[in-house]
């Protein structure tokens, strides 16, 4: 009998539109892998209790989590599915919660001696003090502590830009992370099972890798595999595997870094990386001969073993 998979899509986060694109691509791959597929959007239900009741009634072989951002990626939906013994793809609830909290994951990276930018965490609608601005040094980054797809992110080059940028970040989260800007190259390392995939370098044609440059075709150049010496490539891949494991992440994900020509600086972990035509994990997998269909199928196999 053909196995049925439910793909969670959309949801409530700032990234719901990207989730719909990822879920559409995931569904197409599942159909080509001869699964029965049903797309389910949590926002179509009155409560999580109703959603869980529906999933239990459907008894899927597995739930493929195609959500992105808060509520889909921060451990909440993972906890609920685990409590009901409903199998699902990707990192479990503990790792999801840790990875979604950029400040916490950075503290873990620092404890592991992985270089990280200087940072200040703001809460309770507080603004940066003059001393904190001096500590961070211009330019620096202001972003929501628990969000993705570069939503609400600003680069600060002048002190008068700070207040507006912090207020914008607070619209997306009740904690705001301000980090030293690391000049140089932006890269990402995808984790797939116990392997690291080829490094992708991200080169926006203008500005930085914001929401528009991420999801507008032609705005950003991607180099895969990125041009690094074998020694440097091995080092950043080691960093990626170390922090991914230390944060209780598993199955698949992406770890982002900045490289200033001397050191690799850890930025964040993505436990549910995008699965669109412009997404980096499928690009990295393709570079070693893993097709999108094979990637999706193996994510299911790895998740069931985890």
The answer to whether 215 is a known catalytic residue is yes
Q: What is the pTM of this model?
A: 0.92
Chosen domain end from 180, 206, 233: 180
Picking from 162, 180, 198, the residue at the C-terminal end of a domain is 180
61 pLDDT higher than 90? yes
Same domain membership, residue 235 and residue 124? no
**pLDDT over threshold 80, residue 244:** yes
CATH code of residue 110? 3.30.470.20
The answer on 238 and 103 residing in a single domain is yes
Same domain, 195 and 241: yes
Query: How many domains is the chain built from?
Result: 3
Options 250, 270, 279, 284, the catalytic residue: 270
To the query of whether residue 303 is one of the catalytic residues in this protein, the response is no
Q: Which residues on neighbouring strands pair with residue 123, listed in sequence order?
A: 175
- For residues 241 and 190, the answer to whether their CB atoms sit within 8 Å is no
pLDDT digits (tens, 9 = 90+) for 120-172: 999 999 999 999 999 999 999 999 998 765 678 999 999 999 999 999 999 98
Q: Which of 35, 215, 259, 265 is catalytic?
A: 215
Tell me what the pLDDT averaged over the chain comes to: 92
Cα separation, 19 vs 249, in Å, equals 20
Can 268 be counted among the known catalytic residues? yes
Bridge-based pairing state of the strands 4-8 and 62-65: parallel
Question: Is 205 in the same domain as 269?
Answer: yes
Q: Is 185 a catalytic residue?
A: no
Same domain, 189 and 274: yes
Chain centre to alpha carbon of residue 192: 14
Residue 93 CB partners (closer than 8 Å, separation 6+): 75, 76, 78, 79, 82
Catalytic (active site) residue 73: no
* The one catalytic residue among 19, 105, 149, 303: 149
d(CA 248, CA 230): 27
Q: Which domain holds residue 240?
A: 98-115+183-305
For 80-118, how does the pLDDT look when each residue is reduced to its tens digit (9 = 90+)?
A: 999 999 999 999 999 999 999 999 999 999 999 999 999
* Angstrom distance (rounded) from CA 93 to CA 78: 5
CATH at residue 41: 3.40.50.20
Q: How far apart are CA 252 and CA 269, in angstroms?
A: 11
- Band the pLDDT of 15: cuts 50, 70, 90: confident
Last residue of a domain, one of 180, 209, 232: 180
Strand partners, 63: 6, 88
- Residue 139's domain is classified under what CATH number? 3.30.1490.20
Locate 29 and state its tokens: 């791959």
Let me know if 32 is a catalytic residue. Answer: no
- Check whether 210 has a pLDDT greater than 50: no
Q: Is 270 a catalytic residue?
A: yes
Percent of the chain at pLDDT > 90 equals: 84
Q: What is the pLDDT of residue 55?
A: 97
Examine the domain organization and report whether 26 and 167 are in the same domain: no
Catalytic residue check, 274: yes
Are residues 82 and 110 both part of a single domain? no
């Amino acid at each position: 009998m053909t196995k049925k998979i439910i793909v969670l899509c959309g949801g409530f986060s700032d990234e719901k539109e990207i989730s719909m694109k990822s879920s559409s691509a995931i569904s197409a791959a599942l159909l080509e892998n001869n699964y029965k597929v049903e797309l389910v959007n949590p926002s179509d239900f009155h409560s999580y209790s109703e959603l869980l009741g529906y999933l239990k009634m459907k008894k899927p072989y597995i739930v493929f989590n195609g959500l992105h951002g808060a509520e889909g990626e921060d451990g909440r939906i993972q906890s609920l599915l685990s409590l009901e013994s409903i199998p699902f793809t990707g990192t479990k609830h503990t790792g999801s919660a840790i990875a979604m909290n950029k400040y916490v994951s950075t503290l873990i990276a620092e404890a592991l001696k992985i270089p990280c930018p200087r940072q200040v965490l703001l809460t309770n609608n507080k603004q940066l003090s003059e001393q904190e601005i001096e500590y961070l040094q211009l330019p620096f980054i202001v972003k929501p502590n628990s969000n993705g797809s570069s939503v609400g992110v600003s680069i600060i080059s002048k002190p008068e830009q700070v207040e507006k940028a912090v207020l914008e970040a607070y619209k997306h989260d009740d904690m705001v992370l301000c980090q030293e800007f690391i000049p140089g190259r932006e890269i990402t390392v995808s984790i797939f099972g116990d392997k690291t995939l080829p490094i992708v370098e991200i080169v926006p044609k203008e500005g930085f890798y914001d929401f528009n440059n991420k999801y507008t075709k032609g705005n950003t150049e991607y180099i895969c595999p990125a041009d690094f010496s074998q020694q440097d490539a091995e080092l950043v891949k080691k960093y990626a595997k170390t922090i991914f494991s230390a944060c209780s992440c598993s199955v698949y994900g992406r770890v982002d870094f900045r490289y200033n020509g001397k050191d690799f600086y850890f930025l964040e972990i993505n436990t549910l990386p995008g699965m669109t035509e412009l997404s980096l994990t499928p690009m990295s997998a393709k570079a070693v001969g893993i097709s999108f269909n094979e990637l999706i199928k193996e994510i299911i196999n790895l998740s069931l073993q985890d």
